[in-house]
């Protein structure tokens, strides 16, 4: 069975495309790429069609991850098409819950930091867009830890018990 996952942030140019591509990379490394279909989207239309942020791609490239793509906006039909929708922050999660028409759709929405073993009380991945390169480095580390945690939960079937 294939699990379809969509990672969601505000503009789909920094956090969610990073999560999508880190998930794909680590799933391939684990020999599990055929178990997942991954995508990403933004809750806003601000960056439609744009490439992922160059600063984040530079940070990722220094760590061996090269990726591209184009920003798209999350659609209400995505709530049916994906098995799991991973929001980068509380605002994104709230936007997604408002779009949900059923409890089943709403139950698919999880926060990225719910999978980070080092997450504190704040369950929002910070948006580094208006800051310096240090913020992008920090977000890379957070998203990578979270992706690895998500892969572990999926591997062991722990995710189903959280719903």
Those residues whose C-beta lies under 8 Å from the C-beta of residue 140, and which sit 6 or more positions away, are 18, 56, 59, 60, 63
> Which of 9, 39, 57, 72 does the annotation list as catalytic?
9
Q: How far is CA 80 from CA 39, 100, 120, in A?
A: 14, 9, 31
Tell me if residue 107 is catalytic: no
User: What are residue 87's phi and psi, to 5 degrees?
Assistant: -90, 140
> Which of 89, 95, 127, 145 does the annotation list as catalytic?
127
Tell me if residue 94 is catalytic: no
> Which of 6, 15, 24, 39 does the annotation list as catalytic?
15
User: What are residue 97's phi and psi, to 5 degrees?
Assistant: -65, -35
Tell me if residue 15 is catalytic: yes
Residue numbers annotated as active site = 9, 15, 127
């Amino acid at each position: 069975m294939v699990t379809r996952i969509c990672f969601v942030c505000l503009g789909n140019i920094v956090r969610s495309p990073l999560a999508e591509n880190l998930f794909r990379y680590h799933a391939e490394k684990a020999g599990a790429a055929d178990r997942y279909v991954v995508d990403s989207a933004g809750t806003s239309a601000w960056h439609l069609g744009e490439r992922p942020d160059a600063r984040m791609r530079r940070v990722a490239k220094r760590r061996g991850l090269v990726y591209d793509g184009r920003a798209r906006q999350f659609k209400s039909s995505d709530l049916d098409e994906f098995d799991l929708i991973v929001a980068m922050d509380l605002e994104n999660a709230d936007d997604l819950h408002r779009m949900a028409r059923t409890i089943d759709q709403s139950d698919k929405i999880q926060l990225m930091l719910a999978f980070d073993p080092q997450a504190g009380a704040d369950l929002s991945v910070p948006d580094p867009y208006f800051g310096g390169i240090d913020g992008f480095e920090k977000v890379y580390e957070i998203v990578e830890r979270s992706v690895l945690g998500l892969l572990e939960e999926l591997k062991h079937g722990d995710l189903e018990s959280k719903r």
